[in-house]
Chains A and B, each alone.
Chain A
Amino acid sequence: MSGKAFFIDTTLCIGCRGCQIACKQWNQLPATKTKNVGSYQNPQDLSFYTYKLIRFQEHLGPDGKPVWYFFPDQCRHCVEPPCKETADEMVPGGIIIDSQTGAVLYTDKLKKANAKDIIEACPFNIPRAQKGTGYLAKCTMCFERVYNGLLPACVKTCPTGAMNFGDRDKMVELAKARFQEAKAKYPNATLTGIEDLRVFYLLADKPEKYYTFAKAEPMPKAMDRKMAMRKIGRSLKELAREWQAINKLVS
């Protein structure tokens, strides 16, 4: 599998949000109005104007001391993206895959598609629509930078080496090597995405400790891959909605 990929080593991420700001700067995205709701995380979610977001999670560790996890959330640039599959049914060319990098890119044609379907197709809850216009937006892999020999803005700005980018096979290699190293320190360490995505996360703990959509559910073997991805996207979202509803009832 050629093309490019990100390897995001969250065990090195210090949550400084340099990547989040660099993304806004390069893409000239406006700031959204936010409030502090009792967390460092802000904005609260991805939006048409926020392609990249550090999600903050606190837990108590096994030794009774706090752990603080940072999850740089962004489009995973699936090798076979369910959003494209969905778009193709409605507007061919609405979502394209860049042949050299593998970047999954949304075009203006996508305006004609049903945004809700595209969003629901994503197993990672990434695409966001612009209010009023129906345009969809998300991370572009900074493909125009990559074409000019530059690193994506978020990778360029990362001070610790948590954000990595390069040829996909090299990133797979790096991810596997770091995963082996990390397991000694973090027994629950998880590596996601190396089979079918272009964004791999090394997590120090189980994915659910980071974020609901840190990882898609493993796929049943018998089912068609693409269909499965789409289904999972939907079911995960439903699950999340149910969970939210239950929470509301409880509180």
Chain B
Amino acid sequence: MTNHWIDIRNSDCILIMGSNAAENHPISFKWVTEAMKRGAKLISVDPRFTRSSSKADIYASLRSGTDIAFLGGMIKYILQNNKYFKEYVANYTNACFIVADSYDFHDGLFSGYDPATHKYDKSKWAFVKNEKGIPKKDPTLQHPRCVFQLLKKHYSRYDLETVSSITGTPKEDLLKVYEAYSATGQKGKAGTIMYAMGWTQHTVGVQNIRTMAIIQLLLGNIGVAGGGVNALRGESNVQGSTDHCILFHILPGYLKTPKASQSTLAPYNKKYTPKTNDPLSANWWGNYPKYSVSLLKSFWGDRATPANDFGYSWLPKLDDGKTYTWLDLFDAMYRGEFTGFFAWGQNPAASGANSNKTRKALTRLDWMVNVNIFPNETGWFWKGPGMNPKEIKTEVFFLPCAVSVEKEGSITNSGRWMQWRYKAAEPPGDARADGDIMIDLFKKIRWFYKKDIKQGKKAVFPEPILNLKWGYTTRGRYDPHKVAKEINGYFQKDVTVKGKHFKKGDLVPSFAYLQADGSTSSGNWLYCNSYTNKGNMAARRKREKSGIGLNLEWAWCWPVNRRILYNRASVDMYGNPWDKEHPVIKWDPTAKGGKGGWVGDVPDGGWPPMLKPDGTLNPKTKYPFIMKPEGHGRIFGPGRADGPFPEHYEPLECPVEKNLLSSQLVNPVIPKYSTDMDIYRTCDPRYPIVATTYRVSEHWQTGVMTRWQPWLLEAQPQLFVEMSQELAQMKGIKNGEKVIVESARGQLKAVALVTRRFRPFKVQGNVIHQVGLPWHYGWVYPKDGGDSANLLTPSTGDPNTRIPETKAFMVNIRKI
């Protein structure tokens, strides 16, 4: 989230699309309800009428996988009807930038496409720069090659007729949504988007979010209270685990994982430290080397020295051009490319797309360690459906672990709030906290390396293990405070920074003090400021009495306790809030003894407003979008794998032979896998029905935590498949009877839930049906609960992230 949960209450229009907040984030509805009591409009856009839709002022249905068409139509509407926030767009976004002549878009393809490699040459999408190397701008937005005009041209094709024919959304519903949401383009009004996996799990996942980001920038909704682009994370700490690099391509704090070709620190740092020639651009990532060196110091302490590149050579490197995402890992496992696997706090046999492939892949391992709180489909895969334990060589070790309330530590919620939690009970039996399991694991691994060396054996690449700084225990047990302090970072020697003197061993007060010379450490620069000499900031518990809900002294929020990102875009050029009722920050010229300063939230940098009171440019100012080298919100986004503007493509498995917007049916840079179990079927008469997967309030993820909970199981006992009355009638299916749902990859038995809440779509003149299933069930427990809906889903995904496309694929259903 750019904003945070409580901030939803400040919104004037809430769009729930690509999520189902009432069911999957019920607590968020506390704030949705508060906003509605203030008069905010709630819009629900979903293929199926959900518990969220039941509370909405406007409900519009759309066929799964057509969100870009739906939102592209909204961009056209906003531009055509002058609903955009002109002052904001002209000053804070890159709408005024001039794009190079090498950028072009024709019939679904952007310039730079190489059909042989299925990749784009992104250098074709550059901005034109002036003689100083600063992007050329046209503040009038009239230049035919400026972003604004190119945007207009790109979405001119997304007319109501075409959009309705693609999405299956009636035209009058499209208009209702467009009208209500674009009303937040008025100065002082804010619209917010609550999205989740309904947007990300597509072959156009990233571009779904990009489309909304463009809308939010056009309407001036970024940086303001009640606005933003808000991902409702699917797990309580998924934000924290992402910040601390659960994904392969990043190190903690979104630093980049080095590539094999970046053999030393200097070229690595150079590659990822963006440059700007614009004195008004803060270009925050220009600090990259301070953060990367501080991370290396955190890993290897005194062993990391300038002479050995701070241990850079000990970091694992990625093969150039290769991806190591979830889909890639299980593909490699299936092909026998590796033989050992830790399934820690996860249940891939039920959670991964194309679960039959995943389950088969597990049989190719020599060993697997499964750390979990209950028996699950992964640890027990060897006796699952279709498996013969005698034929399976994989040796499985199950380690029971503590649940969240049986250990101390922090979680970071969707709003980026790092909140400290305490231990309420001892874990039962042999179950242990994850931290304790890791401590013992590492101790043993290091012991093996040392033993080999002692015995004169050749230890392979022992330096990263032997040199690792490892001071995370107290009396032999994992100590979460020591880890939290390490994440924040220490001064490594006595040093004076910014006129302040620090002693070796002092906690670094914020990332502004981190250094690239090895004098500081930080396990995650984004969290520097979370555990300082003043104490554990995440444990703070002071509620705000009045104001807009920032709660600056409740827990802690990255970065540097800033509750609303890009908040310097919430004010006009003089530093006055657009929205007087809900000011995020405000420039107070009398503050700091007349020097002036910001009041309110922690500002995105303390620089003064863009203009002086006399209307002239303040040379000390910086643009508000400090994380981009140009300092402007990116309407034109030249960094993505699949184009600088989002374009509608059909899902890899779709019910139509034609894309009405171009002759490019699917995303041209889509990742596909090629084993015998990667089967994709589009427009196949055997699989004529669109399907999607989702969650319900009563269960969580693959259900490992909830299926074993009798009260929750009582409320949602069995896998079901929701379908319209029309489809049920056509197939002769009665409500409540068991049916078979099958895709090209697998089949399932599910209870038919025939409902008015699903309606057939009219797409390209034809009637298209859609069904949906929750993915919470698995064969281990309960016996009659059903299996994972991911047995049906395809192993393809977004070209940027490779998140699987589990929200739009093709199936058939039939009576048993």
Contacts and interface: CB of A to CB of B under 8 A. Distances in A.
Interface of A: 12, 14-18, 20-21, 24-25, 30-40, 42-43, 58-60, 65-70, 159-161
28 contacts: A14-B55, A16-B23, A16-B697, A30-B710, A31-B710, A31-B711, A31-B713, A31-B714, A32-B714, A34-B717, A35-B784, A36-B716, A36-B736, A36-B753, A38-B735, A38-B737, A38-B751, A38-B752, A38-B753, A39-B753, A42-B714, A58-B755, A59-B756, A66-B49, A66-B756, A68-B757, A69-B54, A70-B51
Nearest to A56: B51
Contacts of A160: 26, 29-30, 33
Given A66-B756, A159-B26, A36 B711 contact: no
Given A17-B697, A58-B757, A36 B714 contact: no
B194 interface: no
Contact of B26 (A16, A24, A69): A16
B412 interface: no
A54 to B, nearest CB: 9
B330 interface: no
A65 B698 CA distance: 25
Contacts of B59: 65-66
B195 to A, nearest CB: 18
Nearest to B735: A38
B756 A161 contact: no
Given A17-B698, A34-B714, A159-B27, A68 B753 contact: no
B754 interface: yes
Contacts of B698: 17
Contacts of B30: 159-161
Contacts of A70: 51, 54
A25 B711 contact: yes
Given A17-B698, A58-B756, A42 B736 contact: no
Given A31-B710, A38-B754, A161-B33, A15 B22 contact: yes
B714 A43 contact: yes
Contacts of A20: 715
A206 B717 CA distance: 31
B97 interface: no
Nearest to B717: A34
Contacts of B26: 14, 16, 18, 159-160
Given A14-B51, A21-B711, 5 more contacts: A14-B23, A21-B712, A34-B717, A38-B752, A160-B33
B49 A21 contact: no
A16 B718 contact: no
Contacts of A161: 30, 33
B53 interface: yes
Given A14-B26, A160-B30, A68 B53 contact: yes
A15 B55 CA distance: 10
B292 interface: no
A39 B717 CA distance: 11
B52 interface: yes
Contacts of A24: 711
Contacts of A39: 736, 753
Contacts of A32: 714
B720 interface: yes
Contacts of A60: 756
A40 B589 CA distance: 58
B46 to A, nearest CB: 11
Interface string B280-294: 000000000000000
A37 B736 contact: yes
A32 B33 CA distance: 32
Nearest to B759: A66
B22 A12 contact: no
Given A159-B30, A161-B33, A15 B54 contact: yes
B736 A15 contact: no
B750 to A, nearest CB: 9
Interface string B743-776: 0000000011111110000000000000000000
Interface in B119-155: none
Interface in B17-59: 22-23, 26-27, 29-30, 33, 49, 51-55, 59
| A-B residue pairs, 8 tightest by C-beta | A38-B736, A31-B710, A38-B735, A31-B714, A14-B22, A16-B26, A68-B54, A36-B718
Contacts of B713: 31
Contacts of A30: 710
Nearest to B23: A16
Contacts of B784: 35
A66 B697 CA distance: 20
B169 to A, nearest CB: 12
B712 to A, nearest CB: 7
A83 B710 CA distance: 31
A131 to B, nearest CB: 17
Nearest to B758: A66
A66 B720 CA distance: 20
Contacts of A18: 26
Contacts of A35: 717-718, 751, 784
The winner among B54, B55, B719, B736 for most chain A CB atoms within 10 A is B54
A225 B196 CA distance: 53
Contacts of B754: 38
A69 B23 CA distance: 14
Contacts of B27: 159
The winner among B711, B719, B754 for most chain A CB atoms within 10 A is B711
A16 B22 contact: yes
A36 B52 CA distance: 21
Contact of A14 (B29, B711, B751): B29
The winner among B29, B59, B737, B757 for most chain A CB atoms within 10 A is B29
Interface string B577-617: 00000000000000000000000000000000000000000
